[in-house]
Amino acid sequence: MHNLNLLLTLAAGWMAAVTFGYGTMRLGWSPIVGYLLAGILVGPHTPGFVADKALADQLAEVGVILLMFGVGLHFHLKDLLAVKSIAVLGALGQSTVATLLGALTAHMFGWGWPAGFVFGLALSVASTVVLTRVLSDNGQLQSPTGRIAIGWLVVEDIFTVFALVLLPALFAAKADASLPLSFAMAAIKLAVFIAFTFLAAGRIIPWILNKIAETNSRELFTLAVLAVALGVAVGSAYLFGVSMALGAFLAGMVVGQSEFSARAGAEALPMRDAFAVMFFLSVGMLFDPRQVLESPWLIVATLGVVMVGKPAAAMLIVALLGYSSRIAFGVAIALAQIGEFSFLLAALGTQVGALPAAAMNPIVAVAIVSIMMNPMLYRALPHVEAFVAGHPRLWRALNRRSAGQHKEDGGTREGLAAHRAVVVGYGPIGRSVTRLLRDRGISPTIIEMNIDTYKTLRAQGHDVVYGDANQREVLRQAGVATADSFIVSTSGAAGASEGIRIARQINPGLHVVSRVDYLAQSELLRKAGADEVFAGEGEVALAMTGSILRNLGATPEQLDSERARIRAELFQPRATDT
């Protein structure tokens, strides 16, 4: 019976998530909204099928671990240092304002101050998933606004990770009136665990992944990544008494600093997404629509904190630090939502007795509304900018130190001035293409799946990414989003159609050149988005034709004419290809 409940919960939950996720995507919203709505549908507060909440919570724990592992995997200190002056001050300042506003709101509705501060903390952090999706959809991920917003969110995420660690210690200490001692013990355990993770696991984990990679088994590598994430997370709780979320985050950081970061992210992504859906479903199952009618003003006030208070604080901080109104509005709107970390904080706060059970309701409701509204608000930015530009006094008030804008924009244009190329594979053709590009002052990024070749290239100083070029995560790390050319040089490149399709989605302006072994495979790659396809069969036909004609005494003009005719017959797309 237990197995049947598990299967029913998984089947009903994922079917509902697919249905609502697809619907919200078609409407231009984040699929997270669909997952939350699916959780409400299969939850105990709506009619119809009710999923097993206990089982859903257990599966959600795995989702939390993999979500935190992914956050750690993508955390790069250099990215934060590039915008540290605004990211650190901005994130801490905005988080403080949002926490205070949330605490005041909760206190106005009769909650105690401790519950209010935890509630405010949950409202202070934005969703990484939503923010990156909105910036990417609007082509702003690599812009000054995007870099600042991402760095800002990284600081928020770090702050939240430590809040997740300290909350249980703080409220357990409150129960036995030994706050200083409990806090000190928690800090010592945390320091020992972090040191152990980076000194010991930092050597062991890359060594293990290297040995697994040498087997060339995709299944073993995927299993190894999951084992590392879950193993370190569970070990952190049992051996050091710290949260599994922090363990998973640090495990992700260790892997992210190794050469396996891109491939690990790509291989673990499907499992992470599947179990993360269960996390959002379990959160949605907590939502009780009846409470909306019982306390609508609490939801309205909470929405005001998230969509008015937070962005106003962010905009003021960005403007005071000397950035333009365009960047200030962009950062403010991008952060005017809440998501996965808010749910994590609220769920933990409920577990340790810091928050009443009813606190989850306004958080879920506000998350749904803010995530739905965020893409639409961001798309309205040009209209806001036009309005400000049309009112000189307002523009001058918001751009008192606009030199910061020119500095940022100049850096972006300079970075984009040089041609950027991504080469897939470093076989004989890949080596020739790379040498050709380097001879012309272009240093391409190489994507290589062979671990030994990858190590050799890295030792030679090449810009190289280890992983499968059919994986979105690998393509992003290789810089496809800002590249000009994408060159697939590997044998058996007909299997690269998925990678070409994803690369074209990431960067529609990309010039894609691909190799295939057989002419019959050319049509597949053209449909996937390749601009030019070169087949081994065709090149052999051209070479043989040239040899035969030269032996027959053909003139150079005749050779060129015949080659052009054969190339048109073999390589040009037929009418059925278009």
Give the Cα separation of 180 and 501 in Å (integer).
56
Q: Residue 516 domain-assigned?
A: yes
Residues 377 and 424 placed together within one structural domain of the fold? no
Q: Which residue has the higher pLDDT, 291 or 518?
A: 291
pLDDT, averaged across the chain: 79
How far is C-alpha 51 from the geometric centre of its chain's CA atoms?
29
Q: Residue 141 domain-assigned?
A: yes
pLDDT of residue 154: 75
- Could you report the per-residue pLDDT of 11-24, keeping only the tens digit for each? 888 899 999 989 98
Q: How confident is the model at residue 305 (pLDDT cuts 50, 70, 90)?
A: very high
Query: Which residues are paired to 464 by β-bridges?
Result: 446
- Could you report the per-residue pLDDT of 105-117, keeping only the tens digit for each? 999 988 888 889 9
Q: Out of 60-64, 307-311, 487-491, 553-557, give the one with best mean pLDDT.
A: 307-311
Is 415 a residue whose pLDDT tops 50? no
Is 320 a residue whose pLDDT tops 90? no
Q: Residue 29 domain-assigned?
A: no
Q: How confident is the model at residue 312 (pLDDT cuts 50, 70, 90)?
A: very high
What value does the mean pLDDT take over residues 537-558? 72
Give the Cα separation of 331 and 314 in Å (integer).
7
Query: Of 355, 381, 407, which residue sits at a domain end?
Result: 381
pLDDT of residue 153: 80
Give me the number of domains the chain comprises: 2
Q: How confident is the model at residue 405 (pLDDT cuts 50, 70, 90)?
A: very low
Residues 192 and 281 placed together within one structural domain of the fold? yes
218 within 8 A of 267, measured Cβ to Cβ:
yes
CATH of the domain at 246: 1.20.1530.20
Residues 233 and 313 placed together within one structural domain of the fold? yes
pLDDT of residue 100: 94
Q: How confident is the model at residue 183 (pLDDT cuts 50, 70, 90)?
A: low
Query: Of 381, 397, 429, which residue sits at a domain end?
Result: 381
pLDDT of residue 311: 92
Residues 370 and 426 placed together within one structural domain of the fold? no
Is 173 a residue whose pLDDT tops 70? no
Q: Residue 356 domain-assigned?
A: yes
Residues 357 and 480 placed together within one structural domain of the fold? no
The beta strands (E) that lie in 161-228 are given as none
Task: Mean pLDDT check: name the lowest of 76-85, 167-176, 179-188, 471-480.
Answer: 167-176
Residues 339 and 453 placed together within one structural domain of the fold? no
Q: Which residue has the higher pLDDT, 133 or 281?
A: 281
Residues 353 and 463 placed together within one structural domain of the fold? no
Q: Which amino acid is at 532?
A: E
- Could you report the per-residue pLDDT of 35-65, keeping only the tens digit for each? 888 988 988 888 888 888 777 777 877 887 8
134 within 8 A of 66, measured Cβ to Cβ:
no
411 within 8 A of 146, measured Cβ to Cβ:
no
Token pair in block for residue 97? 């304002």
Residues 445 and 317 placed together within one structural domain of the fold? no
Is 177 a residue whose pLDDT tops 60? no
Q: Residue 320 domain-assigned?
A: yes
Query: Of 333, 358, 381, which residue sits at a domain end?
Result: 381
Residues 347 and 434 placed together within one structural domain of the fold? no
Where b means 16+ CB within 10 Å and e means fewer, 132-163 reads bbbbbebebbbbbbbbbbbbbbbbbbbbbbeb
Residues 329 and 458 placed together within one structural domain of the fold? no
pLDDT of residue 578: 39
Residues 346 and 430 placed together within one structural domain of the fold? no
> In Å, how far are 6, 10, 46, 563 from 40, measured between CA atoms?
18, 15, 7, 65
Q: Residue 235 domain-assigned?
A: yes
450 CB neighbour count, 10 Å cutoff: 16
Q: How confident is the model at residue 412 (pLDDT cuts 50, 70, 90)?
A: very low
- Residue 431 lies in domain: 418-577
Q: What is the DSSP letter of 490?
A: -
- Could you report the per-residue pLDDT of 132-158, keeping only the tens digit for each? 767 766 767 667 787 788 778 878 877
Is 572 a residue whose pLDDT tops 70? no
Q: Which amino acid is at 342?
A: S
pLDDT of residue 300: 93
What value does the mean pLDDT take over residues 79-94? 79
What value does the mean pLDDT take over residues 251-273? 77
Q: Residue 215 domain-assigned?
A: yes
Is 502 a residue whose pLDDT tops 70? yes
Q: Out of 12-21, 210-219, 288-297, 464-473, give the one with best mean pLDDT.
A: 12-21
- Could you report the per-residue pLDDT of 354-401, keeping only the tens digit for each? 888 888 889 988 988 888 888 888 888 888 888 887 778 777 777 765
Is 568 a residue whose pLDDT tops 80? no
Give the Cα separation of 363 and 299 in Å (integer).
8
Q: Which residue has the higher pLDDT, 439 or 190?
A: 439
How far is C-alpha 369 from the geometric centre of its chain's CA atoms?
21
Is 576 a residue whose pLDDT tops 50? no
pLDDT of residue 417: 40
Residues 319 and 173 placed together within one structural domain of the fold? yes
Give the Cα separation of 404 and 156 in Å (integer).
23
Q: Residue 106 domain-assigned?
A: yes
Token pair in block for residue 184? 């000190």
pLDDT of residue 158: 74
What value does the mean pLDDT take over residues 547-558? 74
pLDDT of residue 273: 77
Token pair in block for residue 225? 């990544």
What value does the mean pLDDT take over residues 300-313? 93
Give the Cα separation of 34 and 520 in Å (integer).
41
What are the phi and psi torsion angles at 501 (to 5°)?
Answer: -60, -45
CATH of the domain at 572: 3.40.50.720
